């Protein structure tokens, strides 16, 4: 019985050690820890309804000052396109998305722009754009 308890204690100590080491290693490798979701910026339900001036450079600096290191920008590219089968994105969308990436870069934030699925439709490809510091 004593051997069983000692073996069990060794196994528990080993598992706890492995957990702590792997958890701390995972934290070291994470590129960011705190983020803010900037919803409704590029999530228009039709091409003319997007409010591209909802956020500006000041907002990005304030987000950074609050301790965040990443902003997530969900985008409905399908709704911001021409609406035809060619799905050509309006150049104004790229202008403001590029501007958002610039603001993230100068405020030392990372940005994760993600293609959001349109309700009721299957999304085949997902577009992700991540800025590099």
CA distances from 68 to 72, 100, 104, 107, 112 (A): 11, 16, 11, 11, 13
Q: pLDDT above 90 covers what percent of the chain?
A: 26
**Distance in angstroms (rounded) separating the CA atoms of residues 110 and 35:** 9
Q: 111 with 131: CB under 8 angstroms? A: yes
Nearest by Cα to 108 from 132, 73, 128: 132
- Report the predicted TM-score, pTM, of the whole model to 2 decimal places: 0.65
Mean pLDDT over each residue of the chain, to the nearest integer: 76
pLDDT for 124: 47
Question: Which residue in this structure is represented by tokens 């290191």?
Answer: 69
Q: How many CB atoms lie within 10 A of CB 118?
A: 13
pLDDT for 3: 53
pLDDT (tens digit per residue) in 57-87: 999 999 999 999 999 998 887 778 777 777 7
Nearest by Cα to 97 from 62, 133, 52: 52
SS3 127: coil
**Distance in angstroms (rounded) separating the CA atoms of residues 100 and 118:** 22
pLDDT for 127: 46
Q: How many CB atoms lie within 10 A of CB 12?
A: 10
């Amino acid at each position: 019985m004593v051997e069983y308890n000692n073996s069990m204690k060794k196994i528990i100590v080993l598992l706890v050690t492995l957990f702590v080491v792997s958890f701390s290693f995972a934290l070291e490798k994470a590129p960011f820890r705190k983020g803010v979701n900037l919803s409704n910026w590029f999530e228009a339900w039709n091409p003319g309804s997007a409010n591209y001036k909802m956020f500006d450079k000041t907002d990005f600096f304030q987000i950074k000052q609050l301790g965040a290191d990443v902003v997530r920008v969900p985008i409905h590219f399908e709704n911001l396109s021409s609406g035809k089968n060619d799905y050509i994105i309006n150049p104004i969308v790229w202008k403001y998305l590029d501007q958002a990436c610039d603001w993230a870069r100068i405020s030392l934030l990372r940005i994760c722009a993600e293609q959001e699925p349109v309700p009721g439709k299957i999304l085949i490809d997902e577009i992700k754009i991540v800025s590099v510091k």
